[in-house]
Chains A and B, each alone.
Chain A
Amino acid sequence: MTALGFAWRSLVRQPARAALGILGVAAVGALLFDMLMLSRGLIVSMQDLLDRGGWDVRVSAGELPGSGLRVAHALETAEAISTLPSVQAALVIRSASVEIDRASGVPLRASFQGVATRSTNPAGSRLRAPWTILRGRDAEASDEIVIDQRIASEFKLEPGGVLTIRASCVGDLEALPATQLRVVGVAEFPFQTTESTTGATLDALKMACGGNVGHDADLILVTSKGDADGTAAAIRAQHPDVRAATNNEVVGRLQQTGFTYFRQISSVLTTVTVSFAVLLITVLLTVSVNQRLGEIAALRALGFSRLRVVKDVLSESALIVGIGGLLSLPLGLLLASGLDRILKGMPGIPVALHFFVFETAALGVHVALLVATAVIAALYPMRIVSRLPIAATLRDEVIG
């Protein structure tokens, strides 16, 4: 009988204890798996969101896009950027607040993004806004608008319908003029938060705001011809007053600021959960070994080597951790999905952003940590059996 087979028999000998150990490892392993997914989840998810639209350089007035500061003379700046040899296209994004009139009841507050593309080549001119059309088409004329799925459902609107909005481009205090726009498409907005979102051309936004927009914009998105780093450097050289960052640099800055807390929290919780797993298995194995000292001493007397009895204990630990670890994966994914939903309920979090993201690397680290847990947890009970004095134990068992 192999050490693994022997360990399996030892486990099923006391099913309640084995189940306790396996369930404990499954619970702790699920938490561990979640912490590993959390540690890089935001980074991976944010990178995915940034890369999704195909825009690889972001130009903003503040350190990070979305800081509230606006790029002055945005259209001229985008025009100039688009003339750089490494640039394929530049897209100006200007946001406004809107209230969407209902037939009855309180108007729905939403955000309104107006975009304008600048490019010196035909391929770049074809690049559209960073949202994805789900139904219908993108807005092209100044009386057209695309809406998100939520507005479409709430207002029972589909392409062809009409939306009455009151847009504010400079502040909430201004009197909002009513504008009717034709819905031409339903879209998915990558950075959409819990607030509803609409999109149109910059001209449409200007019209909705009664021309009261100014020349600034929230962000300029740039698509390079392949060299994002070189393009960002060229933009910085051309416009020292703005911040140009590649998607990787944006993620890097986020990692150094807000995301670092999640990483630290996940590191601490990972350490705690692994420690719990080690303690749990060590206690279970130690109790199990202490109950079987006589049998182990007898096996040693019958010629079982020290290595063999140590392997038996290690195999038992590996079985508990292995089975518990397998159970921890679906449990962890289920738990992550629930926690993700809760965390995404925080205001200002883009709907498409995920806190917990599955990565093969996270699974690899999970497995490696569980293997280490199985070995470390078995160290003390392995020490007990390897140092077991055979004769004295047999004597004690008879006297006991």
Chain B
Amino acid sequence: MNSASGLSPSVSGRRPVTGDSSARSIIVDARDVCRVFPMPAGPVTAVRDVTLQIRSGDHIAVRGPSGCGKSTLLHMLGCVETQTSGTLLFDGQDVSRLSDARRSLLRLRQIGFVFQRFFLLPMLTARENVELPMSEAGLAKDVRQQRVKELLEYVGLAARADHRPSQLSGGEMQRVAIARALANGPRLLLADEPTGELDEATGAQIATLLDRVNQGGTALVIVTHDAALADRAGRLLTMRDGRIESERVR
């Protein structure tokens, strides 16, 4: 794995962010957002009155007990779920007013996702998995190939480019998933329990990789039960019953 201090601009598409937080641009501005799920036994409020700003370069960890609304909040921040009430602006745009196609485009170009279960496509090689979002974004083939090479080198898997997920270890699969999430140079990277399926040592490697992504300028929000991973974040949000109970800034 590369040991460079930050994600290079050519890989991340961003420049490392320095200076005080108020000077950094706001990516997500959520105000009093709620998410209620209608259930047969009655409505369940998964997220209630959450107000949160995410700026470029932020490194945020969200912790809390199971069912407290962490993943739902993450999905709302990633524009795959819309709030029931409140407003959520992404880059100044009200996400709830965007069509499904516009939200897809927003996710494709501005947001990266890393999942606990990786969700790599088993029939594609590591190279093809990373290339897929770029292909969807319409990047030229030579640009895609160059970028895939850089990204796989960045996550330390250049030698495994032609391996399929079934030929990779859990940690390697997650590194490919991170490379895939970074494919289109997102401003915001969302990770839902990225070390949940990994052993401690491999989890630490992934945590280091995510740190480097963040140091490259990409805002990072991690939902995790892993205390060690959460402690690396600049802001630690603790949720309970759908609310942000506390925020600790390092």
Residues of A within 8 A of B (CB): 1, 9-10, 12-13, 294-295, 297-308, 390-391, 394-395, 397-398
Contact = CB atoms under 8 A, between A and B. Distances in A.
Contact of B180 (A12, A300, A302, A391): A302
A390 B115 contact: no
Contact of A298 (B115, B184, B193): B115
B117 interface: yes
Contacts of B36: none
Interface residues of B, number: 38
A283 to B, nearest CB: 21
Given A10-B123, A12-B123, A391-B80, A302 B108 contact: yes
Contacts, number: 85
B119 A298 contact: yes
Given A295-B121, A391-B72, A302 B131 contact: no
B101 A295 contact: no
A303 B106 CA distance: 7
Interface in B104-157: 104-109, 111-113, 115-117, 119, 121-124, 128, 131-133, 135-137
Contacts of A9: 121, 123-124
Given A304-B104, A394-B115, A398-B116, A1 B131 contact: yes
B115 A303 contact: no
Nearest to A12: B123
Contact of A305 (B101, B115, B124): B101
Contacts of B113: 298, 301-302
Given A9-B124, A13-B123, A306 B81 contact: no
Nearest to B119: A298
| Best-surrounded residue of A294, A297, A305, A395 (most CB of chain B within 10 A) | A305
| Best-surrounded residue of B80, B100, B181, B192 (most CB of chain A within 10 A) | B80
Contact of A304 (B71, B108, B124, B131): B108
A1 B75 contact: no
Contact of A306 (B104, B121, B122): B104
A294 B100 contact: no
